[in-house]
A and B are shown apart, each in its own frame.
Chain A
């Protein structure tokens, strides 16, 4: 499997990375090498291997539904670039809704 320059440009856009033309070239080569390396796995016969959804052999790790102290608002906001003491402030977002 090869990675095209277009693939890299699209992934870059989705990740909000402003890649220069030169960077696109480098990334395309490097990503192709990485994917090519991993694709060695495709040479193995895995038809008898159960799919692995998680590398750890533990499951069902839960916590009880008991409230714990939260941060104070001041603590929560202290690293924000901008806030008004109550909320985080971000540039106006209009006409869009977040996916849930």
Chain B
């Protein structure tokens, strides 16, 4: 259920996103962050929380976090500190997580999401804060083994995370999913994170409640629920859709409002397609935050900020606009291209530059290059046809050497063989049909088809279509459009 104009309530959604920063080492020690290593092989006294060890901040982690915050239009604090968030859990060896509480390094940003098809109005989502913290380890419990032990792998403990907290500005599950896609695209573009959800590099929790207008004009607000355990953006959307319906039903049954009970955490059960209640959320003061004495303050001055800003690549929003004005393509086209990643945009721009035309290049990208990539798998940097090679092919089409369907065959052959258009054209016996050849062919066709000629002269121009098939049989290289044009011209000349 998306918030339709007829829904008797407004859906209020805020997101909390954790992204793993693309560093080689952990936040406070030199252990590798490489995913997939055997358990407890990337651990040291610091990330194991052994006595006497001390954390030292990873310069690159802070730089990447700064980049993310700037791209999210946040204000950067001139001075920032870290705090200990205390709680007991077996995957948290120190008994506290080093996080940021009252002086996060950034706050008050925003990121807009626009749907080019207009499925929802553009939504500018406020960012409350972005802060830098360490990850916990991984607990593995074998349910099948019954009351067995929980196994703890601390490879992930101490991995640098950016936590991004939005304002409750989203108004539908669909918007939430689209916004997450935009956030992911941005972070991947900037090289901040690979945002791989399967590997846990991006995790989302969602807060949701409903605002229900009452007959007396008051707005009733349902208790806020935090949904966890969603493993894809699709799951996020599904969970929010489910939770919207569940909360509305609960409201109708209980009339329970926000504040009548503590904030509830519910886990998304993907196979069952439902959310289930979990423990009551501890109040934030229960974490007994206090300043981390083992880390000194970090200050950022204007010069450092300018340096980070100038080293940043164009974010997706600006890139879309740039493509639209530079190559005169539609918002829809620029969205499709930009959403495929920076490398594909690079390919497109090279292609468009080579043929001096944006729309044609964009069509080839979407209809042929992307389709081929989807079928073959792989990435654009390993694509067997270079932008220059494809440009050469397109130029031949534009020059009228052959039609688009013939060009598609040539393109397919270029992809499989990795050879140039000229090469493929030569081997397939494809050669441009010159004007003399075309003229001879048309004369033959007209001589052999008096009925069609008569029909056309009688005013039925569409009868000329019968000539095209025959022309193709006589010479596979002819351009159907040119055959038709030439034949009509000859018939008209007959008077």
A interface residues (Cβ-Cβ under 8 A, vs B): 11, 14, 16, 53-56, 58-73, 76-77, 82, 84, 86-100
Contacts and interface: CB of A to CB of B under 8 A. Distances in A.
A2 B297 CA distance: 32
A77 B297 CA distance: 33
- Of A60, A61, A65, A87, most buried by chain B (CB within 10 Å of CB) is A65
B151 A89 contact: yes
Interface of B: 18, 23-25, 29-32, 38-45, 48, 56-62, 79, 81, 85-92, 97, 103, 133, 135-136, 139-141, 147-154, 161, 163, 203, 228-229, 267, 278-279, 282, 286-288, 291, 293, 295-299
A76 B48 contact: yes
Sort A-B residue pairs by CB-CB distance and give the 9 closest, nearest first.
A68-B30, A65-B60, A87-B151, A62-B59, A88-B152, A98-B89, A90-B90, A89-B149, A59-B297
Contact of A62 (B40, B58, B147, B279): B58
A69 B92 CA distance: 21
26 contacts: A14-B286, A14-B288, A16-B88, A54-B297, A60-B297, A63-B57, A64-B59, A65-B58, A67-B30, A67-B32, A68-B31, A70-B31, A71-B43, A71-B44, A73-B38, A73-B39, A76-B43, A86-B38, A87-B40, A88-B154, A89-B150, A93-B141, A94-B141, A97-B278, A98-B91, A100-B203
A67 B161 CA distance: 18
Most B-side CB within 10 Å, residue of A76, A86, A100: A100
B60 A95 contact: no
B229 to A, nearest CB: 7
Contacts of A96: 89, 278-279
A69 B91 CA distance: 22
A90 B141 CA distance: 10
A98 B133 CA distance: 14
Given A16-B88, A73-B38, A73-B39, 18 more contacts: A53-B81, A54-B291, A59-B296, A59-B297, A82-B149, A86-B39, A87-B152, A88-B90, A88-B152, A88-B154, A90-B152, A93-B139, A97-B229, A98-B91, A99-B287, A100-B18, A100-B97, A100-B203
A97 B38 contact: no
Given A76-B40, A95-B279, A84 B30 contact: no
A63 B88 CA distance: 28
Contacts of A62: 56-59, 62
A38 to B, nearest CB: 14
Contacts of A77: 40
Given A59-B298, A62-B56, A86 B18 contact: no
B40 A86 contact: yes
Nearest to B87: A99
Main secondary structure of the interface of A (DSSP, over half): loop
Given A54-B81, A88-B90, A68 B44 contact: yes
A70 B40 CA distance: 9
A67 B24 contact: yes
A76 B23 CA distance: 23
A21 B149 CA distance: 34
Nearest to A10: B286
Contacts of A59: 79, 296-299
Contacts of A92: 141, 147-150
A90 B103 contact: no
Contacts of B18: 100
A98 B57 contact: no
B90 A87 contact: no
A65 B24 contact: yes
Given A64-B59, A65-B58, A92-B150, A98 B44 contact: no
A100 B85 CA distance: 10
Contacts of A84: 151
A61 B92 CA distance: 24
A61 to B, nearest CB: 5
Nearest to A60: B298
A60 B30 contact: no
B25 A87 contact: no
Contacts of A98: 87, 89, 91-92, 136, 139
Contacts of A53: 79, 81, 103, 291, 297
A84 B154 CA distance: 14
A23 B48 CA distance: 32
A79 B137 CA distance: 18
A89 B86 CA distance: 22
Contacts of A91: 149-150
A17 to B, nearest CB: 11
B76 to A, nearest CB: 14
B58 A99 contact: no
A67 B25 contact: yes
Contacts of A54: 81, 291, 293, 296-297
Contacts of B86: 14
Contacts of A67: 24-25, 30-32
B296 A61 contact: yes
Nearest to B21: A65
A63 B91 CA distance: 25
